[in-house]
Structure 1
Amino acid sequence: MTAEIRPGVLDDLPALLDVYNHQILTSHSTFDLEEMTLEQRTEWFGHYTPDGPHRLLVADVDGRAVGYATSSMFRAKAAYAPSVETSIYLATDATGQGIGRILYSELLRQLEAHPGLHRAYAGVALPNDASEGLHRALGFTEVGTYTEVGFKMDRYVDVRWYERDLGV
Structure 2
Amino acid sequence: MVSGRTEVQVRPGSEADLDALTEIYNHYVRETAITFDTAVFTARERRPWLLSHPEDGPYRLMVATDADSQAILGYATSSPYRPKPAYVTSVETSVYVAPDAGRRGIGTLLYDALFAALAGEDVHRAYAGVALPNEASERLHSRFGFHHVGTYREVGRKFGRYWDVAWYEKELG
Range of TM-score over shorter length: over 0.9
Gaps of 5+ in 2: 1-5
2:91 counterpart of 1:60:
no
Instruction: Indicate the SS of the match to 1:2.
Output: strand
Q: 1:139 aligns with which of 122, 132, 145?
A: 145
Q: Which amino acid aligns with 1:69?
A: A
Give the TM-score of the pair, scaled to structure 1.
0.96
Q: How does 1:18-167 map to 2 (within 5 A)?
A: 18-61=23-66, 62-114=69-121, 116-166=122-172
Identical-residue share of aligned pairs (%): 50
Cα separation, 1, equivalents of 2:87 and 2:33: 26
Q: 1:6 aligns with which of 7, 11, 33?
A: 11
Deviation (angstroms), 1:161: 0.3
Q: Cα RMSD over matched residues?
A: 0.8
Instruction: Indicate the SS of the match to 2:129.
Output: strand
Kindly provide the CA deviation profile for residues 123-167 of structure 1, in whole angstroms up to 9, marking residues without a partner as x. 00000000000000111000000110000111100000001111x
Cα separation, 2, equivalents of 1:163 and 1:2: 31
Cα separation, 2, equivalents of 1:149 and 1:160: 10
Deviation (angstroms), 1:103: 0.8
Q: Which amino acid aligns with 1:159?
A: V
**What is the count of residue pairs matched by the alignment?**
166
Give the TM-score of the pair, scaled to structure 2.
0.94
Task: Return structure 1 stretches of 4+ with deviation > 2 angstroms.
Answer: none
Deviation (angstroms), 1:18: 0.8
8 A contact 1:16–1:66 mirrored in 2: no
Query: Could you say which residue in structure 2 is the equivalent of 1:16?
Result: 21
